[in-house]
């Protein structure tokens, strides 16, 4: 070796961060030890030369047995160990120690070389990385979100967190095996949309779609992807997060439904006010004009004419009273304060009285008949029964020509009383029949006949309150039969 080379070697040995040496194979003699030893061990080379095994004195008690065996045991020249040393100042360093045999011409080991490197920083980094990975794993495994990493064509998943199994109800293994298998679970209606999103911009998606788990349960998913670029800015893979947003969707849907209900209620309220105002205004203007006529022409009008106007006023007041009564019943029902007070009532008498109170229409068209040999009395709420009969009789009169009669039959049966009201009027179209008990509902053929659409809903309410039954049979152009049965014995 020339002088120049020796100088270069010395510079190298003095400046590198690791120690290297040449020793006898049994490590009883060092031929060379680089200055790195002093730097790493914090002990002098002289001390090592003096006692070649003294480097072991610094080895951490937990590692000393393993290191001693490797370093001075059977094959010291074949060592590759990582261990800790404690330096004289008390600091702990991690060392990677490797040795290699050196052979003579006969192939015998006559020396060995070694390197010892301070790997404390690397160890710390490894530890930090391990800790971060461990934390990420815990996070990924315990959060209700699926994380995944895959190529841009969704042909291979590099990672998929275990929550996938929980949300999709399919194994991660199945997805690694067939990366597009998650699409098999997408709700058929959402597939076209999802496929278009994957095709258009797979690495920057933000999609909401439904999946159907193998057990048939439907879940809502929010799926987002983000591109991962290499150092040249080229997107080479993507990461994604998918979360189960079913509960949020349900809450949204409920809020939407509640808003819709509120809107419907508000519409119904407006409609209600408009209908009632209209229905009250008509009899009010009749009262107004009859009163005006009577007021200004009281001396000129014949008794007959006066009588006619008084009747008009009376029937208009009756009409308004009946609307107000209907409204009161509805309000009481809504406030759950509808009174039900059955008393022993003479049903025949009640029917006759009810007919007597009808003023809006020509009550003489009503043909009342009693059949059956049951008792005349029954435990009924007289007021509610009166509402039932008035509404049904007035409908029969209202929805038929003024020259047609309305048959009203009371059947006194052993356990119940039956009211049958039959007219020969316009009838109810079949398609409207199922709604006629709904509040404000009017059939399509009422034309200009007055009405609020409340009567039958109140009738139904009063019948239900009695625990009775009601049925309607109707043929357009022929007439309508309404049958109500009320049990005889109702207790308070």
The distance of closest approach from Cβ of residue 439 to ligand ADP in the complex, given in angstroms and rounded to an integer, is 8
Query: Is there a contact between 407 and 369 (Cβ–Cβ < 8 Å)?
Result: yes
Ranges within 405-444 binding ligand ADP (CB under 6 A): 423, 425-428, 436, 442-443
The distance of closest approach from Cβ of residue 417 to ligand ADP in the complex, given in angstroms and rounded to an integer, is 20
Q: Which one among 18, 399, 408, 419 touches ligand ADP, defined by CB under 6 A?
A: 399
Compute the distance between CA of residue 472 and CA of residue 64 in angstroms, rounded to an integer: 101
Q: Which is nearer to ligand ADP, 336 or 448 (CB)?
A: 448
Compute the distance between CA of residue 187 and CA of residue 194 in angstroms, rounded to an integer: 10
Which DSSP category does 186 fall into?
B
The distance of closest approach from Cβ of residue 366 to ligand ADP in the complex, given in angstroms and rounded to an integer, is 13
Q: What phi and psi, each to the nearest 5 degrees, are found at residue 399?
A: -90, 20
Question: Residues, the chain, total?
Answer: 492
The distance of closest approach from Cβ of residue 484 to ligand ADP in the complex, given in angstroms and rounded to an integer, is 13
Q: Which is nearer to ligand ADP, 52 or 425 (CB)?
A: 425
Compute the distance between CA of residue 380 and CA of residue 491 in angstroms, rounded to an integer: 9
Candidate ranges 190-198, 317-325, 348-356, 388-396; the one touching ligand ADP (CB under 6 A): 388-396
Ranges within 288-317 binding ligand ADP (CB under 6 A): none
Compute the distance between CA of residue 296 and CA of residue 135 in angstroms, rounded to an integer: 97
Q: Which is nearer to ligand ADP, 118 or 423 (CB)?
A: 423
Sequence-distant (6+) residues with CB within 8 A of 199 are none
Ranges within 159-218 binding ligand ADP (CB under 6 A): none
Sequence-distant (6+) residues with CB within 8 A of 97 are 67, 71, 79, 80, 81, 82, 83, 114, 115, 116, 117
The distance of closest approach from Cβ of residue 213 to ligand ADP in the complex, given in angstroms and rounded to an integer, is 48
Q: Which is nearer to ligand ADP, 450 or 467 (CB)?
A: 450
Grouping H, G, I as helix, E, B as strand and the rest as coil, residue 145 is strand
Candidate ranges 65-73, 170-178, 207-215, 454-462; the one touching ligand ADP (CB under 6 A): 454-462
Q: Which one among 114, 202, 455, 468 touches ligand ADP, defined by CB under 6 A?
A: 455
Q: Does 470 bind ligand ADP (CB under 6 A)?
A: no
The distance of closest approach from Cβ of residue 480 to ligand ADP in the complex, given in angstroms and rounded to an integer, is 4
Q: Which is nearer to ligand ADP, 219 or 398 (CB)?
A: 398
Q: Which one among 36, 52, 202, 396 touches ligand ADP, defined by CB under 6 A?
A: 396
The distance of closest approach from Cβ of residue 464 to ligand ADP in the complex, given in angstroms and rounded to an integer, is 15
Burial of 63 (0-12, 13-18, 19+ CB in 10 A): middle
The distance of closest approach from Cβ of residue 393 to ligand ADP in the complex, given in angstroms and rounded to an integer, is 9
Dig out the tokens for 77 from the structure. 């020249």
Q: Which is nearer to ligand ADP, 36 or 451 (CB)?
A: 451
Query: Is there a contact between 436 and 475 (Cβ–Cβ < 8 Å)?
Result: no
Q: Which is nearer to ligand ADP, 395 or 485 (CB)?
A: 395
Q: Does 366 bind ligand ADP (CB under 6 A)?
A: no
Q: Which one among 395, 424, 465, 485 touches ligand ADP, defined by CB under 6 A?
A: 395
Q: Which is nearer to ligand ADP, 45 or 426 (CB)?
A: 426
Compute the distance between CA of residue 22 and CA of residue 132 in angstroms, rounded to an integer: 40
Q: What phi and psi, each to the nearest 5 degrees, are found at residue 35?
A: -60, -20
Compute the distance between CA of residue 191 and CA of residue 193 in angstroms, rounded to an integer: 5
Between the CA of residue 464 and those of 193, 351, 485, what are the distances in Å? 50, 19, 10
Candidate ranges 199-207, 210-218, 452-460, 461-469; the one touching ligand ADP (CB under 6 A): 452-460
Q: Which is nearer to ligand ADP, 209 or 361 (CB)?
A: 361
451: left (phi over 0), alpha (psi -120 to 50) or beta: left
Q: Which is nearer to ligand ADP, 122 or 435 (CB)?
A: 435
Compute the distance between CA of residue 492 and CA of residue 470 in angstroms, rounded to an integer: 22
Candidates 470, 440, 461; CA nearest to 452 is 440
Q: Which is nearer to ligand ADP, 59 or 426 (CB)?
A: 426
Cα 30 from chain centre: 76
Q: Does 454 bind ligand ADP (CB under 6 A)?
A: yes
Q: What phi and psi, each to the nearest 5 degrees, are found at residue 29?
A: -150, 130
Candidate ranges 127-135, 202-210, 211-219, 391-399; the one touching ligand ADP (CB under 6 A): 391-399
Kindly give the residue spans of alpha helices, DSSP state H, lying in 100-232. 120-142, 163-168, 172-177, 191-200
Strand ranges inside 46-108, DSSP E: 80-86, 92-103
Q: Which is nearer to ligand ADP, 36 or 455 (CB)?
A: 455
Interface with ligand ADP: number of residues (CB under 6 A): 21
The distance of closest approach from Cβ of residue 270 to ligand ADP in the complex, given in angstroms and rounded to an integer, is 18
Candidate ranges 125-133, 204-212, 221-229, 445-453; the one touching ligand ADP (CB under 6 A): 445-453
The distance of closest approach from Cβ of residue 386 to ligand ADP in the complex, given in angstroms and rounded to an integer, is 15
CB atoms near residue 191 (< 10 Å): 13
| Residue ranges binding ligand ADP (CB under 6 A) | 391, 395-396, 399, 423, 425-428, 436, 442-443, 446, 451-457, 480
């Amino acid at each position: 070796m020339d002088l120049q080379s020796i100088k270069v070697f010395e510079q190298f040995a003095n400046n590198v961060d690791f120690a290297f040496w040449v020793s006898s194979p049994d490590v009883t003699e060092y031929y060379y030890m680089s200055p790195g030893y002093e730097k790493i061990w914090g002990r002098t080379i002289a001390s090592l030369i003096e006692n070649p095994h003294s480097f072991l004195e610094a080895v951490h008690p937990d590692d000393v047995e393993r290191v001693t065996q490797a370093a001075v045991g059977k094959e010291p020249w074949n060592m590759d160990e990582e261990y800790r040393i404690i330096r004289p100042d008390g600091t702990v360093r991690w060392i990677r120690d490797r040795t290699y045999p050196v052979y003579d011409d006969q192939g015998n080991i006559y020396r060995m070389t070694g390197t010892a490197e301070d790997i404390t920083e690397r160890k710390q980094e490894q530890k930090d990385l391990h800790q971060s990975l461990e934390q990420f794993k815990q996070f990924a495994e315990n959060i209700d979100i699926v994380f995944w990493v895959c190529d841009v064509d969704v042909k291979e998943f590099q990672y998929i967190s275990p929550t996938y199994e929980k949300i999709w109800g399919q194994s991660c293994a199945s997805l690694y095996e067939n990366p597009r298998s998650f699409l098999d679970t997408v709700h058929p209606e959402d597939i076209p949309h999802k496929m278009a999103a994957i095709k258009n911009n797979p690495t920057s998606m933000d999609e909401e779609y439904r999946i159907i788990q193998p057990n048939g349960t439907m879940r809502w998913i929010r799926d987002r992807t983000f591109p991962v670029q290499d150092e040249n800015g080229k997107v080479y893979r993507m990461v994604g997060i998918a979360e189960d947003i079913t509960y949020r969707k349900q809450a949204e849907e409920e809020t939407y439904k509640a808003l819709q209900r509120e809107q419907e209620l508000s519409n119904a309220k407006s409609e209600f006010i408009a209908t009632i105002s209209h229905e009250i205004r008509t009899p009010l203007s009749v009262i107004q004009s009859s009163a005006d006529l009577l007021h200004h022409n009281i001396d000129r009008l014949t008794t007959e004419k006066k009588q006619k106007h008084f009747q008009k006023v009376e029937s208009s007041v009756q009409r308004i009273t009946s609307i107000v009564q209907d409204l009161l019943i509805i309000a009481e029902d809504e406030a759950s304060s509808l009174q039900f007070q059955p008393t022993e009532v003479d049903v025949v008498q009640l029917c006759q009285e009810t007919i007597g109170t009808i003023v809006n229409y020509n009550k003489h068209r009503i043909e009342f008949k009693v059949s059956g040999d049951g008792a005349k009395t029954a435990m009924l709420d007289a007021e509610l029964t009166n509402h039932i009969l008035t509404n049904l009789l007035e409908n029969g009169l209202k929805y038929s020509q003024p020259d047609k009669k309305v048959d009203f039959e009371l059947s006194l049966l052993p356990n119940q009383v039956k009211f049958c009201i039959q007219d020969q009027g316009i009838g109810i179209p079949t398609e409207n029949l199922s709604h006629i008990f709904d509040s404000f509902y009017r059939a399509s053929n009422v034309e200009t006949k007055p009405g609020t659409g409340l009567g039958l809903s109140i009738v139904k309410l009063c019948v239900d309150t009695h625990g009775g039954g009601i049925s309607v049979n109707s043929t357009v152009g022929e007439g309508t039969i309404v049958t109500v049965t009320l049990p005889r014995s109702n207790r308070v």
